[in-house]
Chain A
């Protein structure tokens, strides 16, 4: 399926190549570069590019293009999903997935890729199995390796691949047994000019960090499981049990993993935690424009709205801005015309505002588009959908684990049209 893989950095250099079948010349990437040139933005490079003899399927992550070379029919999502899995694995191994990190660990990368695909077909993509095969590089291990000459490659054979629970290593041992779950919800919303919600949906995930000895069998139940009508699970979750009882029952992978993600669709009512008052106007004939922005909390259930960041792409005609924030700092990039205002926490008593004027290109006519305002924020200890975990039970092991649940609401793609 996947014939070869090329890693291309943002300046268009191929810095790694790997072939699973016969070697494909790297000149095939010229087609990719062509498409890259045509695209105005990096993310506008089409994910699938046909060439006379091959097809190039690429993903862009961390400013690196992962270009897979395909020779015949294959579901494109299959390749895309796999490439993302590769990136996730690298991130898991090296902390970051940058060009430098990949170059520094080129041998580990190669070993990983070798295990992940066999003849272009995915073989071992579970991070727990891979970690058993190839140990992630740590500073300590690197030092030890250079001194003793031992290796990163696990001595054990990949027994995980044979087990019934391929996602979990065998013989896991911890002195502190702990299981943490983060319920993180992101609000995607479009708010129109007048402040009414055009569309709003919630994307939630439950990320887990489970460090438990042995083979624990966990069940997680919710106070209000009805909220979750559109979910996708980590393969460890027993689907039938969920269908029957709305209880998550699973033998967890070791370490960090995404237990489930869910979607509360736009058909449901979604509470919008912030409101924006804005007044952005350009006057015909004048080279000045007014800019006023005020943020306030709304439906936050008494929780503070923190880490608020406002971004807005101002029209091309704007030369510079002269603004006065009531709190926080703002920056304006005159080249990209990107205005961003980092205001921190919203104080309900004294609402943060950003007011001032914009100077336009002399003689240019009034821009007819109004900028959209993108907002990022965080609200701790609250899941905006109202989802609540009821209890977490462990079976199969004797010890008492430490359990923790954290809730957080974030802005996803939160956009206000002006």
Chain B
């Protein structure tokens, strides 16, 4: 250190920049003052009482540091000012401290107490800055203090302080790697943080400290995916890169089938042994067949979906990160989207261009088609820097194929005329590569290159020779005249590589030019001593080959050349000469080898393969430093290969039940108790132990219990209150869970069947739904919630943790309490199914991403009922509304009239609950909207104010007509509002925020397909006419078996109309039921025909212009009818 600083000092002093401080220094008395004395002045200024003097001194010191001059001797004087009131002085002192603390460890300790005080400051920003500086001081002795500070900051109320804590982790880790285990604990805790501010920083810490602990990500995976778009841009890069690696370990290769097939065919093609090839092919095919039903894990899809918008980022690094993610993870068909964004980046600064082009070059080898449409964007301008030109050339060459080669070659022709000779040389190489890869143009290229041989620039000629040599090797017999032409060039060309190439060519194909070859050797023998080494070696080569084929003419020449070589200065050449002599000149002593001399020298040599230097670079993660350098950089994390079998996807479920149900073993090893992160429990280890004991107890009492022991036990012991709260919330929410289970009991019967379905769904929804809410909760202290274990002085965050856990497990207990053994059995089978089944189930779920399937308590249903009965449309249909169940799962006839969905649970909503239903009434303001009737109930004890909708996040084409703001909603009151949503004829969810005066909730409404249409009245003839026009692709016919309870006209009509908002078309035949409707947005007709054949067999036909709607409708009706 000291040596380097001395060096710095020198350099700074000698450079022209060193002056200003002399001039600016009023007290130093001019330029004669020595360094030593000058520092004395600074010390004086620092000791003074005036802030302005201190500031001036600090500024000068910082200027010294900036110039790399040593200012370490001022340390004692500076460190005194660490507690200075003036902010700028303070900041500059921090700068100084961080720079020199390492060298002056003892003195640096003086400042620590200031920061420790700062850590306790009520202002979050001061806490953060204190932590930031404290952690930047690289003094080993304070490691324990830093550790403590980080731990505390990690559970700070302010997300900004937590972010700073995340930043501090890698600092401490680099200072003392022994702290790793403790730091991982903190990282684990911060990973669970739900704010966007923290996410990027903590993932960065994760990457620096423990990138191998991929298991820490499981629980946070979905949250990270969902937060991603709101994280600051630098964090996005880090998260995306990490998630790429994560996804490679957790999901299956979406292109597996294809790559297997490719491999198979390739092997068969090249394989000399055909049988073997076939076998392999068969094997591959078998493998493919086995894997055939590839279903993308919904989490995999989530990642792809959530990163895609980031291709639009202004930050090139983010775009590149997404591009590499798509390249490494997306199914082949979807990778294309990144090309456009990457091409856009090429307009950026040349450094950005350089990196992007490197990556494009690698990608274009694997996925040529992706960039082909953008071929012209890679054309080269004379003003591009050479390194960019060469990279563009590389890409152009990679993109060349039979169809575009002529355009590319024409471009290349212009490039050859460039003034930039390095670039010309690269172009010639590129032409050579095109010629080898595309047979059709080989002759054209060769002719072009031969013409270049008469170029005036020697470099161009030389490069051409080298490339021609490679090309000729492919079919030498056809081109003896070119070889002759090149033989003549030996007189002129001086570039060694080119001369060597020509000589090699002549030697290799001397039989094609029997007259010229010896003459060339004669000339070369003459100039032998003046040649470069590589040329000499080739002369020897040529001599040997000629001797073997034409010893009569060349015997003496060869001897002469060998003698010359014998006394060459270069030992390689001497060795070669000796070796060749032994090999070719038959002597009595010569060994067995000389017999084979001809075979050795004139063996048929395989033509060289001209390959891109970027081939196979994609084993490095694209966009990484290692990829760019094509060498592993320090700290590079290998991109793992896809797993053969997907690991258990359920590890990512955040919710309690799922985890246990899929891996029962977990309960035994409670160390990894999945819901409540370890650190929150540290204070109450005993409690955890209790639980441990409890669990087996309850499950025992259950006898053969279902997969969710904990939840089961609640309901089955009947004392839902006590055990339930203890199990789930331990601290909070016990009241709620009690109330919940009571009210639920009332409706137990209604729920029987629905439950079994909703259970599975809940898990995903819960995990998603609970996130934003608890994130919001952080912003304001939680209101009193039931009896709390006040003794625990846990932070807010912990409470949230608990709360969400209680919520989830509580809703679980509800679910469980209703389900009879039947459903439990079902559930068990479903849980015990092998993991690959899991993803499929979840896709289904995400299709219908309703917030919750729980029916609202009966008092809430009543107004809906009234409302609906007044609805014109339904009245006209004259249906009994008693059992119009909409959910795919049939509901027993006793349930409410219109299916109402829960939008906001009252616990998530802190007392506010919202449910919605599709009232099937035309929306008054806009006929193209589906009206959604929303019911707000305030279950809390404070009034909710200013309920309104904000910031809808909608898919393209969708619109929302918001309901008028609800000013006040007093406790216990219920209000119904109607909102219009134009789903633009798709079942995409409408996302929006519901705002109260204090909170925001992120909500989602996803319509069943049947609600996207409205009834249309038509006669039978009209119907037939319309149907006749909607045939072919627009018609979907499906056979079905009617469910037992679904016999007779009335039942069918009722089920269909409840599934979809259609009206029946009067019709003569009894065996036929017809329904008509049109989609709300575009008014496309939807025609449904059901023909009953025999007892239970029927045929369903749906005609609809919108095929997607038709298909989904068929699915829904089928389900409704076959139950």
Using a CB–CB cutoff of 8 Å, the interface residues on chain A facing chain B are 1, 13-19, 21-23, 25-27, 40-41, 43-44, 46-48, 50, 55, 58-61, 70-78, 80-82, 84, 103, 106-107, 109-111, 114, 118-119, 121-123, 125, 149, 151-155, 157-159, 161-162, 166, 188, 190, 192, 198-199, 201, 203, 229-235, 238-241, 243-246, 258, 261, 263, 265-267, 313, 315-316, 365, 368-370, 372, 374, 413, 415, 417
List CB contacts (< 8 Å) of B345-387 with chain A: 347, 349-352, 354-356, 373-374, 376-377, 379, 381-383, 385-387
CB–CB A313/B382 < 8 A:
yes
Q: Which of B7, B343, B350 contacts A43 (CB 8 A)?
A: B350
Closest B residue by C-beta to A125 = B234
- Indicate with 1 or 0, residue by residue over B161-176, a CB within 8 angstroms of chain A CB atoms: 0001001101100100
User: Which of B88-96, B441-449, B693-701, B928-936 lies at the interface?
Assistant: B88-96
Query: Which chain B positions have C-beta within 8 A of A261?
Result: 314
CB–CB B387/A46 < 8 A:
yes
Q: Which of B59, B99, B628, B633 contacts A23 (CB 8 A)?
A: B99
Query: Which chain B positions have C-beta within 8 A of A372?
Result: 381-382
Query: Which chain B positions have C-beta within 8 A of A230?
Result: 340-341, 344
Inter-chain CA distance A206–B559, complex, in Å, is 77
The 8 closest A-B pairs by CB, nearest first: A149-B52, A72-B635, A151-B88, A199-B376, A157-B125, A240-B953, A153-B88, A25-B4
Q: Which of A16, A48, A152, A199 contacts B377 (CB 8 A)?
A: A199
Closest B residue by C-beta to A13 = B15
Q: Which of B52, B91, B417 contacts A370 (CB 8 A)?
A: B417
Closest A residue by C-beta to B351 = A47
Given contacts A80-B351, A118-B132, contact A231 B455 (CB under 8 A): no
Query: Which chain B positions have C-beta within 8 A of A190?
Result: 379, 381
Query: Which chain A positions have C-beta within 8 A of B167?
Result: 118-119, 121, 123
CB–CB B4/A55 < 8 A:
no
CB–CB B7/A71 < 8 A:
no
CB–CB A75/B66 < 8 A:
no
Query: Which chain A positions have C-beta within 8 A of B204?
Result: 1, 121
Given contacts A23-B99, A106-B63, A157-B126, contact A75 B625 (CB under 8 A): yes
Query: Which chain A positions have C-beta within 8 A of B387?
Result: 44, 46
Inter-chain CA distance A74–B317, complex, in Å, is 11
User: Which of B26-34, B525-533, B675-683, B955-963 lies at the interface?
Assistant: B955-963
Query: Which chain A positions have C-beta within 8 A of B352?
Result: 77, 80-81, 84
Inter-chain CA distance A44–B354, complex, in Å, is 10
Q: Which of B15, B160, B952 contacts A161 (CB 8 A)?
A: B160
Using a CB–CB cutoff of 8 Å, the interface residues on chain B facing chain A are 1, 4, 7-8, 11, 15-17, 20, 50-52, 55, 59, 62-63, 65-68, 86-88, 91-92, 94-95, 99, 102, 123-126, 132, 135-136, 138, 158-160, 164, 167-168, 170-171, 174, 197, 201, 204, 229, 232-234, 237, 241, 309, 312-317, 319-321, 340-341, 343-344, 347, 349-352, 354-356, 373-374, 376-377, 379, 381-383, 385-387, 411, 414, 417-419, 455-456, 623-626, 628-629, 631, 633-637, 951-959, 991
Q: Which of B135, B197, B374, B635 contacts A266 (CB 8 A)?
A: B374
Q: Which of A17, A72, A241 contacts B67 (CB 8 A)?
A: A17
Inter-chain CA distance A103–B377, complex, in Å, is 40
Q: List 17 A-B contacts (CB under 8 A).
A: A19-B99, A22-B102, A23-B1, A23-B102, A43-B350, A47-B355, A48-B629, A59-B349, A61-B349, A76-B625, A77-B320, A119-B136, A157-B123, A244-B957, A246-B956, A263-B340, A368-B456
CB–CB A110/B386 < 8 A:
no
CB–CB B66/A244 < 8 A:
no
Given contacts A106-B63, A121-B167, contact A27 B417 (CB under 8 A): no
Closest B residue by C-beta to A83 = B351
CB–CB A233/B625 < 8 A:
no
CB–CB B344/A266 < 8 A:
no
CB–CB A162/B160 < 8 A:
yes
Distance in Å from the Cβ of B970 to the closest Cβ of chain A?
Answer: 29
CB–CB B67/A16 < 8 A:
yes
Inter-chain CA distance A1–B341, complex, in Å, is 26
CB–CB A158/B125 < 8 A:
yes
CB–CB B343/A263 < 8 A:
yes
Given contacts A40-B386, A149-B55, A234-B314, contact A198 B87 (CB under 8 A): no
Q: Which of A75, A109, A155, A243 contacts B87 (CB 8 A)?
A: A155
Inter-chain CA distance A244–B87, complex, in Å, is 47
Q: Which of B62, B132, B373 contacts A110 (CB 8 A)?
A: B62
Q: Which of B16, B51, B159, B417 contacts A149 (CB 8 A)?
A: B51
Inter-chain CA distance A192–B351, complex, in Å, is 27
Given contacts A23-B1, A244-B955, A365-B456, contact A107 B63 (CB under 8 A): yes
Inter-chain CA distance A70–B208, complex, in Å, is 14
CB–CB A243/B628 < 8 A:
no
Query: Which chain A positions have C-beta within 8 A of B171?
Result: 119
CB–CB A25/B377 < 8 A:
no
CB–CB A74/B66 < 8 A:
no
Query: Which chain A positions have C-beta within 8 A of B126?
Result: 157
CB–CB B377/A266 < 8 A:
yes
Query: Which chain A positions have C-beta within 8 A of B59?
Result: 107
CB–CB A15/B316 < 8 A:
no
CB–CB A73/B125 < 8 A:
no
Query: Which chain A positions have C-beta within 8 A of B67?
Result: 15-17, 106
Query: Which chain B positions have C-beta within 8 A of A121?
Result: 167, 170, 201, 204, 234
Distance in Å from the Cβ of A203 to the closest Cβ of chain B?
Answer: 5
Given contacts A17-B66, A121-B167, A374-B383, contact A80 B355 (CB under 8 A): yes
CB–CB A239/B62 < 8 A:
no
Distance in Å from the Cβ of A259 to the closest Cβ of chain B?
Answer: 10
Query: Which chain B positions have C-beta within 8 A of A315?
Result: 419
Inter-chain CA distance A178–B944, complex, in Å, is 37
Query: Which chain B positions have C-beta within 8 A of A365?
Result: 456
CB–CB A41/B386 < 8 A:
yes
Given contacts A47-B354, A74-B625, A232-B314, contact A107 B201 (CB under 8 A): no
CB–CB A75/B381 < 8 A:
no
Q: Which of B68, B419, B624, B958 contacts A75 (CB 8 A)?
A: B624
Closest B residue by C-beta to A158 = B125
Query: Which chain B positions have C-beta within 8 A of A17?
Result: 66-68
Inter-chain CA distance A246–B126, complex, in Å, is 42
Distance in Å from the Cβ of B363 to the closest Cβ of chain A?
Answer: 15
